[in-house]
Structure 1
Amino acid sequence: MTATETDHTGVQHDPAPQDGGLHADAVRTLTGWQPAEPAQEQLRLDYLRHLAEQPEGMYRACLPAHITASAAVVDPAAGRVLLTLHPKVGRWLQMGGHCEAGDRDLAAAALREATEESGIPDLALLTRDGVPVPVKLDRHQVRCTGKDRPENTHLDVQYIAVAPPGAQALISEESLDLRWFDYDRLPELTDHSVRDLVARARELTG
């Protein structure tokens, strides 16, 4: 298989791996996760339907929708969250992005993205009974194949990553800016989804 593949629109993509391990883990994770809110439950069922219909639905080559993984990086001791100013979206967001072939599971994908984009090496995902668990799902439209291409859908699975007290962040090439914000002083350029994720992180980490 070549390093890139071209679809019928002429857009080049990295080929989706054929390994079913990450796909199977996503099915297990979403099957076992039971949200309290009806809207989140509907999203969970929609994500599972997507995975049932798309064997390669974990990867960006799968259009018009694919699973992504993200994490809110928080420092509970200081009551703050780390957000990145995304160059394509133009808003402050949590860390996150596309799954990759080397990710052993969905939680590992979220942790990898959080570590790469925050520059903090000792992050720990919030767990239940010793197992990392999502805290929220969010479906949103993006143009990850290019700003001149049609929108596609990210089916984002969101976690919480706890940073060591006083952690120092290091900006990556994927960000226009990277800053810590007090829970009560989030920037204006955030959307409802980010604010809801931060609120959940604050509640769950004390």
Structure 2
Amino acid sequence: MSVYDDAVLVLKAYEGQEELRQTYLDHLAAHPDGLWKACRAGHITASALVIDPERGRVLLTLHGKLRMWLQMGGHCEPDDPSLASAALREATEESGIAGLSLLPGGPVRLDRHPIPPPCHCHFDVQYAVLAPPGAVQEISEESLDLRWFAYDEVADVADESVLRLLEATRARL
């Protein structure tokens, strides 16, 4: 199965955010290249909130281009077998933490947001990953900074999309 086929199946099975979910499916139906960065109408991305529930904290990255505190994530790659594996790969690469595991139950949220030209938007499929005990992060070249924040500190540094992702993730724990 291709990552495109996986994306369609994941989105069809996703419960909640019905109108937005349908927008994602319509995008993929209209754009066979809708998973790839080259699709100028926008593209599906996969992200993951790195969470340490035992210590009540999340790991955020200070995005190099956007200069905003965000969850880990990015573009799908041809070798990714699924959206979930793309999210896990991105979280591992950007956090430097080995042994991350996906929170069961599929995507936590969907978040569509505009991006600078030449593309129009990201159709982000958002997952959550659990950090192993004693996890130590290591900054990548994609980040300006990487830092753990207590749940109640996230509102002070991140935007509403990250807060909604954190709330939805905590509801699943």
Query: Residue 20 of structure 2 corresponds to which residue in structure 1?
Result: 43
How far apart are the structure 1 equivalents of 2:101 and 2:57? 16
Is 1:105–2:86 an aligned residue pair? no
Ranges in structure 2 where 5+ consecutive residues have no aligned partner: none
Partner of 1:10: none
With normalisation by structure 1, the TM-score equals 0.81
**Equivalent residue for 1:139, pick from 101, 105, 112:** 112
Q: CA deviation at 1:127?
A: 1.2
Which whole-Å CA distance do the structure 2 matches of 1:63 and 1:139 have between them?
15
Contact 2:42 / 2:119 at 8 angstroms: preserved in 1? no
1:203 shift after superposition: 2.3
5+ residue gaps, structure 1? 1-19, 144-148
The Cα shift of 1:151 comes to 5.2
Classify 1:189/1:182 alpha carbon distance in 2 versus 1 (closer, same or farther; 3 Å).
closer
What is the aligned-residue identity percentage? 56
Q: How far off its partner does 1:194 sit?
A: 0.3
Tell me by how many angstroms 1:64 deviates.
2.1
Question: Residue 30 in 1 paired to residue 3 in 2?
Answer: no
- Partner Cα separation in structure 2 for residue 179 and residue 68 of structure 1: 22
The answer to whether the Cα contact below 8 Å between 1:75 and 1:166 also exists between their aligned partners in 2 is no
Structure 1 or 2: more helix by fraction: 2
Whether the aligned pair in 2 keeps the contact of 1:68 and 1:154 (CA below 8 Å) is: yes
Cα distance in structure 1, aligned partners of 2:167 and 2:58: 10
2:149 aligned residue = 181
In the other structure, the counterpart of 1:164 is: 132
Partners in 2 of 1:151 and 1:90 — Cα distance? Answer: 19
Say yes or no: does 1:74 pair with 2:51. yes
**1:148-192, CA deviations, whole angstroms, 9 ceiling, x for partnerless residues?**
x44520000000100112211100000000000000112634110
Counterpart-to-counterpart distance in 2, 1:190 and 1:127: 25
* Matched position secondary structure for 2:110: strand
Runs of 4+ in structure 1 over 4 Å off: none
Secondary structure at the counterpart of residue 138 of structure 1 = strand
Q: CA RMSD in A?
A: 1.3
The correspondence for 1:65, drawn from 42, 54, 72, is 42
**Is residue 78–residue 165 contact of structure 1 (8 Å, CA) maintained in 2?**
no
Alpha-carbon distance in structure 2 between the residues aligned to 1:89 and 1:59: 20
1-side partners of 2:25 and 2:155: how far apart?
Answer: 33
How far is the alpha carbon of 1:90 from its aligned partner?
1.2
